[in-house]
Chains A and B, each alone.
Chain A
Amino acid sequence: MTAVTDRQKLSYIASQAADARVNVELETEGMTLNIGPQHPATHGTLRIVAQLDGEQVIRAEPVAGYMHRGYEKLAEVRTYPQVTTLLNRIDWLGSFANEVPFILAAEHLMEVEAPPRATWIRTILHEMSRVAHMILFLGDMGVQLGAVTPVFFAFRDREYVLDQIEAATGGRFHPNFDRIGGLKDDLPKGWIESTKVALAKVLSFCDEMEDLLLGSEIFQARTRGIGVIPPDVAMQYGLSGANARGSGIDWDIRRDNCIGLAYPELDWKVWTHPDGDSFARFWVRLQETREAVKMIEQLCDGLPSGPVMAKVPRIIKVPAGEAYVATENPLGEMGYYVVSQGDLTPFRVKIRSASFNNVSITPWIMRGVYVPDIVTILGSLYFILGDIDR
């Protein structure tokens, strides 16, 4: 009858709120977890802001840019030979593989072709940097899951490969060995023999990793079914390399779209895995390391003789034109879109790096996973921050 007083209203609201409270108490409070910028699980300075509900990730947003050095802008004021020094520093673990596509693009525009011996040595060093890269990944993946031993093995055995790269190019991480029209130098004497010794070490390392990690129950439990990427999503995000092949996409630039390297003359196999989870990506990379060893052996045996440098003008001016050349670097499709206007410097270089696309999938893939899986997924996607930030 009487109008509802304010007090009654308030008590009603309070009772409703109390009911709501019962429900709320069963839920957990949201929480924001910052991973990085300097977390050991991030290969460089990446930060991941994860919003958690209990143990579950609601949203994860990578924050890049801590290492942005503006290479695309710098390339516009440096001459073509000078640009390779920048490209070395994009992905410091497989830097030789980053020089190759840019040089190939410039060679295509200049209509210069490197001699066969240079092409073969390029392919050897390309695969050597893949092996060095993958060894670190195989060991590092253990660290992400709490196994510390594999990474010590990895650093030990990577030395053999880096020593060979150093013996040939003079640099362990920044070879700067490619020239437009060929290579700076020929291989030193006895290099091929010592490479074969190093390759045997790599193969035994692969076996060790298979015993230590692949067969381990903990490793399987932590990686199987974690971070599944269906092939269609992988293609939409432009995933390449072992990340795409781990999703069952049978595609490899070395086989399908090889430009200017010796891959079509080799006998090798593209490995894929249908599962698309973290385990599949690890497995594919392990097989690829062995495959790369096989390729280097074939290349060393069949190395053609001849010069390693074609005739090019002393001052390199690239005729006007545009070219996009990509190769399969250890992380995936590494491509350069080079625009030339007939100058000493490129007019514009668009660097299409593999990691940028590979990591752009993280907000999608992290939804609904559990906190320890964040590290597993990041480890298995395998990126280099310099490759994202450029």
Chain B
Amino acid sequence: MAEETTSTDEETPEEPPRDDRREEILGQVVEAMGDAVVGSHIDPGRDLWVRVATGAWGEAAEVMRNRMGCRYFGYLSAIDWMPSPYGRSMDSEVDNALGTGQSADQEEAPAGIVQGVAGGESRFQMLARVATIGTPGDHWGITLKADVADDDMRMPTWTGVYAGADWHERECWEMFGIEFIGHPGLRHIYLPGDFEGNPLRKDYPLVARMVKPWPGIVDVETLPETDQDSAGAPDDEGAES
């Protein structure tokens, strides 16, 4: 793992570390997909991100499998980049004592959408990872991203290329409300059939937190007996002193 040590000094300006293997892979992807590659990012020795145009999502799977040799399907999901309108619900006594909580008066307004690596323009973004399983030592994975148009939340399915995308797309549809065109059976996988809403969207509240804030480290209510004990305690102390 000689590569790995180079990744720590990523930000030294004089000699930015290079990852020739991943540069080369990125070059091949760009060659295969042309203008459809709209963003990319390399974490030297670790990972490679490629963002493709919304319309090229289906094609990207085929290129990855047939031309890049990524026969291994890792996962498929999505990210909702909108900041949660409910904040982080970190307002317990402990959080405030540590100065890390957001009490109601100092709650900062959501700063707007901040996209992650490889850029992005929309609220929802597809996220998928495929990998090669080649000779030992030449194993690499690639994370693919694509924007999901805000007004048309439909993406082509990957099930025709990677059969394993079936369950992942069902989960993604259920959790984010992104529809997959051509999916053989877009049914609920985790939630009951009549469930409404998409729980992993940021604007879907985590109701348990709204009812009672997370207690933090220790926030145990005292038992009735201990209440009596503690009530009697000052008297005892007073008698002794």
Contacts and interface: CB of A to CB of B under 8 A. Distances in A.
Interface of A: 64-65, 68, 70, 72-74, 76-79, 108, 111, 113, 232-233, 235-238, 249-251, 255-260, 264, 315, 320-324, 333, 335, 337, 339, 341, 343-345, 348, 350, 352, 356-357, 360-361, 364, 389
B8 A111 contact: yes
Contacts, number: 123
Contact of B114 (A65, A238, A341, A348): A341
Contacts of A264: 1
A315 B95 CA distance: 10
B209 interface: yes
Given A235-B73, A260-B4, 18 more contacts: A64-B190, A76-B88, A77-B88, A77-B209, A113-B8, A232-B71, A233-B163, A236-B163, A237-B163, A238-B73, A257-B141, A259-B1, A264-B1, A322-B49, A339-B116, A350-B75, A352-B74, A352-B75
Contact of A348 (B47, B80, B133, B162): B80
| Centre residue among B72, B77, B117, B166 by max chain A CB count within 10 A | B72
Nearest to A260: B4
B200 A73 contact: yes
Contact of A360 (B46, B164, B191): B164
B214 to A, nearest CB: 7
Nearest to B133: A251
B43 interface: yes
A255 B206 contact: no
A360 B167 contact: yes
Contacts of B191: 65, 68
Given A256-B136, A264-B1, A360-B167, A64 B189 contact: yes
Interface string B184-199: 0000111100000001
Nearest to B70: A235
A324 B189 contact: no
Given A250-B136, A255-B136, A236 B77 contact: no
Interface string B4-38: 10011010000000000000000000000000000
Tell me if A's interface is mostly helix, strand, loop or mixed: mixed
Nearest to B145: A322
Contact of B190 (A323, A348, A389): A389
A236 B137 contact: no
Interface string B87-131: 011100000001010000000000000101100000000010100
20 contacts: A64-B190, A70-B199, A72-B200, A76-B88, A77-B89, A77-B214, A108-B7, A111-B8, A238-B162, A238-B164, A257-B139, A259-B1, A324-B141, A335-B74, A337-B75, A337-B127, A339-B79, A339-B116, A345-B88, A356-B168
A95 B141 CA distance: 25
B163 A364 contact: yes
Contacts of B199: 70, 73
A236 B100 contact: no
B74 A356 contact: no
Contact of B143 (A68, A324, A333): A324
Given A259-B1, A259-B4, A323-B46, A76 B136 contact: no
